[in-house]
Structure 1
Amino acid sequence: MAEIITSKKSSPRVDLTPMVDLGFLLITFFIISTTMQEQRVLKFFLPADGPPVLAGESTTLTLVPTANNVVSYFHGSLEEALTTKQYGVTGFSLSGGVGELLRKKKQDLRNLGKDKDMTIIIYPDKSSSYKNLVDLVDEMLINDIHKYCITDNEEAITGLNNAIKFSGQ
């Protein structure tokens, strides 16, 4: 605590040494209790302007996240997938989820020597949550998939959802 020191001939003087100690204690406390970690941010790259890039049907997988953590998917183009029944529904579970679907597609393409050409197209449905989109991007990072895009093509989403409802999946 500060104390007042008085002498006979001088004016009163305040000893601030304890206040300096308190200041250093507070600075030390705030330095120790502050986190010194940088914020982690997802790097998002947009394509350059130019003509559209074509992807092979056999190397393309389209994912459509919808409501209730459900992901509809189809292989190749929608028309071809509907005729060959190369579509389905999955979720985000560890076994049988979208991660397993990506690993299976990657393994099938690796057997053909085309694993570098694998392209994932993500069409978020209007009923999809932002969390589902982030979870799908996380799955791309986890499964080491470098070529993927996020787009909004209402015709593909509507056509796939109608096909899945019609087939009873």
Structure 2
Amino acid sequence: MNNLPKKIRSKKLSSRVDLTAMVSVSFLLIIFFMVVGELSKPNGMDLSLPDKYPGCGGSRGCIDGSRLYTILLDKNDKIVTYSGTLSDPYEAPKKSEYGKNGIRKEIFVHKKSVDERMISVGKPKSSVIVIIKPSKNSSFKNLIDILDEMKINNIDTYAIVDEFTPEESKLLASN
């Protein structure tokens, strides 16, 4: 009786699945899609569009000339400024120099007068618009110095323009 062979039973293997790798992959995918979602959001930028002025027929793009302040940069640290347009200036063109008592003071005085005038008209958010025009002969240092002056005087609206009108070219050549 004892001689009967014993039944050999096979061992049952564990049916557990290790999900550690799957959890790691799922977290990586979640992070990836969160980052892609943040990067794909459109970023908006505030635009300062000019006001409509009745003297220009009410069309967009017409700016009160008293708000314009143009700075022309030329070689040898030469600066010429004027307010308004050359054909209808609010302030005649004049030479200036870099520094605290030069262009910085002129920008401050002009900004203050424009701000006061705009507050009295009822447009407190309208301030001075500075147009910086470096000539081909001006140095990069001069442009950086003028940009520093914009920051020091809290000028929010300014533009760097590389085109000179013939009148501005003559003005630089005469000074």
Instruction: Pick the aligned partner of 1:147 from 154, 157, 174.
Output: 157
Inter-CA distance 137–54: structure 2 relative to 1 (3 Å threshold) = farther
Give the structure 2 partner of residue 121 of structure 1: 131
Give the structure 2 partner of residue 67 of structure 1: 75
Distance 2:169 2:105 in 1: 21
Distance 1:134 1:61 in 2: 18
**Helix, strand or coil at the partner of 1:137:** helix
| C-alpha displacement of 1:116 | 3.2
Distance 2:112 2:93 in 1: 18
What's the Cα RMSD here?
A: 2.6
**Helix, strand or coil at the partner of 2:94:** strand
Q: Do residues 136 (structure 1) and 146 (structure 2) align?
A: yes
Instruction: Give me the identity figure in percent.
Output: 23
**Helix, strand or coil at the partner of 1:71:** strand
**Helix, strand or coil at the partner of 2:134:** coil
Q: Do residues 87 (structure 1) and 96 (structure 2) align?
A: no
Distance 1:109 1:71 in 2: 21
* TM-score normalised over the length of structure 1: 0.59
Q: Do residues 111 (structure 1) and 116 (structure 2) align?
A: yes
Inter-CA distance 74–62: structure 2 relative to 1 (3 Å threshold) = same
**Higher CA-based Rg:** 2
Inter-CA distance 159–93: structure 2 relative to 1 (3 Å threshold) = same
Inter-CA distance 67–165: structure 2 relative to 1 (3 Å threshold) = closer
| C-alpha displacement of 1:165 | 5.4
Conserved 8 A contact 2:68-2:84: yes
**Helix, strand or coil at the partner of 1:132:** helix
Inter-CA distance 85–120: structure 2 relative to 1 (3 Å threshold) = closer
Inter-CA distance 109–115: structure 2 relative to 1 (3 Å threshold) = farther
Unmatched segments (≥5 aa) in structure 2: 1-44, 48-59
| C-alpha displacement of 1:115 | 6.8
Q: How many residues align?
A: 114
Within-5 A mapping of 1:14-93: 53-81=61-89, 86-93=92-99
**Helix, strand or coil at the partner of 1:89:** strand
